[in-house]
Structure 1
Amino acid sequence: MNVHSIPTGTAPAKAKQRLGPIVFAVDAAYAVPLATALRSIAENNQSAWPLDIHVIHQAIGEETKRLIFESLPANSAVIQWHPIDTLSFASGFSTRPGVSRMTFARILLPQFLPQTCNRALYLDGDILVLTALEPLWNIDLGEAVIGAVPDYWLDNVVRGPGATGGHRVKRYFNAGILLIDLAKWRDERISERSLDYLDRFPTTEYSDQDALNVACDGKWKILDRAWNFQFEPTQAIARIVPEQRPAIVHFVTNVKPWKSGSLSPNVAFYDVFRSRTHFALTRWDRVRSGLKRTGSRLLARSTLLRAAWSWTKSAMRARASTSGRENAQ
């Protein structure tokens, strides 16, 4: 475990209940969104500095860790890095296209925190935090194991995990933001029960989210949707007046605002936070992304252009294949 911390002696006196630990689980491909999410948290939670951040990760190198840490305001956070060297326990489990296998790491989250921790806040990497998190952190969970926001789409189906296992749940939550009572999680054996579900239904459509919903069925508290506002591809944060903006925005689809050429209407809004990290886009990055975005829009509007582009790609592949055979002779 690596720790990036503020200089010794500069931490403020512990005068109130601390926010944290805040936990992420990401791989190296999520370095940019992780740095951006952390920047948004730090800027909107200055009263909670230094923030207690834990990152369960796979293959994030030391230089990338340094850049992520130095993307935050000075003295704003302590980051503890927890490598998960193997996800072999999940080798037989499937994920939807584009979903990292690191999604299964959150099932094991309590293993990476001290037994003395009685609460944790788990956040996915594809989020922005736009307000203080203390009101969320201090929610009374009562007898619930976790607090979560219903999944906007799957909760209406009610049978989220039922695609392969036939398990019906009372309500279905999105697992991207979880307020966790760690003692109850351990007592209820949520990790073990989730893994048992995945062992029985390894191709369940929404992977660990399905498993967690089954394990926590009837044991979770519904939180206000502002704490996990699940953005659709065409929704724009900038069009929401600041006073009505959600606390945590969650980019749940594959239309991610940090991807080059993204058609998300939130590219500029997201870039406000990213530009203040060590992963800010260069001028050329912006030009290249803009050109890709323009091309994607043209292709989306023109059947003829799409057909021409498809033919061009096929011709290029055929030419490369022919060239490869000739070179091999």
Structure 2
Amino acid sequence: MDTLSDEINLLVTLNAGYLAPLKVMLYSVHANNPDEQIHLWLVHASLTATEVADVQNLTIAFGWQFSNEQVQTDFAGGVPLIKRYPKEMYFRLLSGQILPQSVKRVIYLDPDLLVINPLRSLWELDLNGHMLAAAVHRGVTNLVDSVNQLRLGTTTSYFNSGVLVIDLDQARAKIRLEDITAMIAEHQSELLLPDQDVLNFLYGSDIVEIPEEIWNYDTRKYLTYQTRSLNQHDIHWVMAHTVILHYCGTPKPWDANSDSKFTGLFLNYQQQLRRLIPKLSRPTVDEN
């Protein structure tokens, strides 16, 4: 295993539609990793200078490093578009080509999650030669794997793309935009979750599995986790051991009709963030 920097590189890729939940997610990272050195890499195609400054303002308050990586039009233009899905969803897979060569590893996080315990052990995870680490949302049985193997013609488990550890040197060597484009052109009618299907179809054999109940807990499936663990993984266990809560599906916890077991936790972090923001000084914004 290569020597890692003490500084944790976090990668986020999004458009303006997910900026509000992103800020709540970042606040949760800081609240539960207060002593970590963190470098946030914001990868996007279309955020305005003001929107970028809003994110940067938070990182300044947290004492983090911040890099704004706007994907150039010619690069973004080569990404195939699928109705209802933004091109930004592919940037996590293409991050090796987007980020500087000096960046060797990142943890990618979706904006619709909370980090409620320390991330350090995920950052230091031994990938055992694999390019990626990800979790599988299995349910009570392994039916999800079987259905997706049949649908995509794969033999590996079906990994969720919302939390990834990425070895960027391997990604630079193995992940190519033209492979992604060709896969989508050939299988577009079969794709349900395009970025996740691409991840599994092209790179599933190069992923090491991490436990979902720790690193990518599907907040819709509390009773499923309870059943699988023979009632050991109750809410007390989750708060003590789970690191990443993922608000998969809809409604999202910021939606008015959301009322799940984990909605209140998200709303509390959102409320704390709203109390913090008025106290922050804004950095200078260059709109040119």
Q: Deviations over 1:128-149 (max 9, x none)?
A: 0011111001010012110110
Please state how far the C-alpha of 1:29 moved relative to its aligned partner.
0.9
Any unmatched runs of 5+ in structure 1? Answer: 1-15, 282-329
Give the counterpart letter for 1:229 in structure 2.
Y
| Structure 2 match to 1:247 | 243
**Aligned to 1:89, which of 66, 70, 78?**
78
Are the equivalent residues in 2 in contact too, given 1:67–1:278 (CA < 8 A)?
A: no
Report SS of the residue matched to 1:262. Answer: coil
Give distance in 2, aligned partners of 1:72 and 1:88: 29
Please state how far the C-alpha of 1:109 moved relative to its aligned partner.
1.3
Q: Compute the TM-score of the two structures, normalised by the length of structure 2.
A: 0.78
Are the equivalent residues in 1 in contact too, given 2:94–2:175 (CA < 8 A)?
A: no
Question: In percent, how many aligned pairs have the same letter?
Answer: 21
Are the equivalent residues in 1 in contact too, given 2:133–2:164 (CA < 8 A)?
A: yes
Are the equivalent residues in 1 in contact too, given 2:39–2:65 (CA < 8 A)?
A: yes
User: Structure 1 residue 156 and structure 2 residue 182: aligned?
Assistant: no
Give the counterpart letter for 1:246 in structure 2.
T
User: Structure 1 residue 115 and structure 2 residue 101: aligned?
Assistant: yes
Give distance in 2, aligned partners of 1:279 and 1:112: 34
Please state how far the C-alpha of 1:240 moved relative to its aligned partner.
1.0
Give the counterpart letter for 1:147 in structure 2.
A
Give distance in 1, aligned partners of 2:100 and 2:203: 22
Please state how far the C-alpha of 1:116 moved relative to its aligned partner.
2.0
**Quick one: structure 1 residues 64 and 275, their matched pair in 2 at CA, closer, same or farther if it must change by over 3 Å?**
farther
Report SS of the residue matched to 1:21. Answer: strand
| Structure 2 match to 1:28 | 16
| Structure 1 match to 2:186 | 200
How many aligned residue pairs are there? 258
Q: Deviations over 1:31-87 (max 9, x none)?
A: 1111011111111112213x1001112432233333333345724212212223554
Please state how far the C-alpha of 1:272 moved relative to its aligned partner.
1.7
Q: Whose RCO is larger (CA < 8 A, sep 6+)?
A: 2
38-47 vs 23-32, greater mean Cα deviation = 38-47
Give distance in 2, aligned partners of 1:155 and 1:117: 37
Give distance in 2, aligned partners of 1:219 and 1:155: 22
| Structure 1 match to 2:285 | none
Give the counterpart letter for 1:46 in structure 2.
P
Are the equivalent residues in 2 in contact too, given 1:23–1:56 (CA < 8 A)?
A: yes
User: Structure 1 residue 69 and structure 2 residue 56: aligned?
Assistant: yes
Please state how far the C-alpha of 1:169 moved relative to its aligned partner.
2.9
**Aligned to 1:189, which of 158, 165, 175?**
175
Larger radius of gyration: 1
Counting only pairs closer than 5 Å after superposition, residues 222-261 of structure 1 correspond to structure 2 as 222-225=209-212, 226-232=214-220, 240-241=235-236, 243-261=239-257
Task: Supply the RMSD in Å over aligned alpha carbons.
Answer: 2.9
Q: Compute the TM-score of the two structures, normalised by the length of structure 1.
A: 0.69
**Quick one: structure 1 residues 270 and 198, their matched pair in 2 at CA, closer, same or farther if it must change by over 3 Å?**
same
| Structure 2 match to 1:216 | 203
| Structure 2 match to 1:147 | 133
Give distance in 1, aligned partners of 2:87 and 2:127: 29
**Quick one: structure 1 residues 214 and 180, their matched pair in 2 at CA, closer, same or farther if it must change by over 3 Å?**
same
Give distance in 2, aligned partners of 1:68 and 1:277: 12
Report SS of the residue matched to 1:241. Answer: helix
Are the equivalent residues in 1 in contact too, given 2:163–2:215 (CA < 8 A)?
A: yes
**Aligned to 1:56, which of 34, 37, 43?**
43
Any unmatched runs of 5+ in structure 2? Answer: 224-233, 278-288
**Quick one: structure 1 residues 66 and 105, their matched pair in 2 at CA, closer, same or farther if it must change by over 3 Å?**
same
User: Structure 1 residue 178 and structure 2 residue 173: aligned?
Assistant: no
| Structure 2 match to 1:43 | 31
